[in-house]
């Protein structure tokens, strides 16, 4: 079911290839792994999507799409997984990343009181940028590795279960 749903909402490869802003990619968009759903490219997509989700930069979806092209992974799946960090989940995730980075660097954890000004932003970035980036990078790597191996494991177990079930059906239907 999810495979058919993803296929239905995936864009037409030829349309993307003809898009003026994507012409620089050329024939790279014709790579079947960028659009297919199979164990290997799906696991890579999950890893890329989750890694990109944890990186605190604007345009995380562009990062996920670029890494998908580079590592031959499913683009729609990787881009969709970036939305793990959305406006609701971003504050706790990035705060946890900041705390992890500060703990690793042995830096104090600052209380951050939000103000809407450039001075506040400069002050916060000065004190929190390095721990935030370090913590985000580490969490991104950890969760992408977990996603890759978990998805591979679940996919293999599912295939073995289907084969076993099919074998039982064949042996049950023999005269």
Q: Give every residue of the chain whose pLDDT is below 50, as ranges.
A: 1
pLDDT in tens, 145-168: 999 999 999 989 988 888 888 888
pLDDT at 124: 76
Query: Average per-residue pLDDT in the chain?
Result: 82
SS (H, E, C) the chain: CHHHHHHHHCCCHHHHHHCHHHHHHHHHHHCHHHCCCCHHHHHHHHHHHHHHHHCCCCCHHHHHHHHHHHHCCCHHHHHHHHHHCCCCCHHHHHHHHHHHHHHHHCCCCCCCCCCCCHHHHHHHHHHHHHHHHHHHHHHHHHHHHHHHHHHHHHHHHHHHHHHHHHHHHHHHHCC
């Amino acid at each position: 079911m999810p495979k058919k749903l993803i296929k239905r909402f995936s864009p037409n490869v030829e349309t993307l290839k003809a898009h003026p802003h994507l012409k620089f990619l050329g024939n790279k968009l014709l790579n079947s792994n960028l659009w297919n759903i199979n164990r290997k490219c799906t696991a890579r997509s999950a890893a890329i999507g989750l890694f990109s989700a944890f990186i605190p930069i604007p345009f995380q979806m562009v990062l996920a799409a670029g890494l998908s092209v580079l590592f031959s992974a499913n683009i729609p799946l990787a881009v969709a997984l970036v939305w793990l960090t959305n406006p609701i989940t971003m504050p706790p995730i990035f705060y946890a990343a900041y705390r992890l980075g500060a703990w690793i660097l042995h830096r104090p954890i600052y209380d951050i009181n939000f103000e809407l000004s450039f001075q506040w932003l400069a002050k916060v970035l000065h004190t929190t940028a390095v721990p935030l980036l370090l913590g985000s990078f580490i969490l991104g790597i950890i969760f992408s590795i977990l996603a890759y191996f978990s998805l591979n494991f679940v996919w293999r177990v599912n295939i073995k279960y289907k084969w076993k079930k099919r074998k039982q059906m064949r042996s049950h239907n023999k005269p």
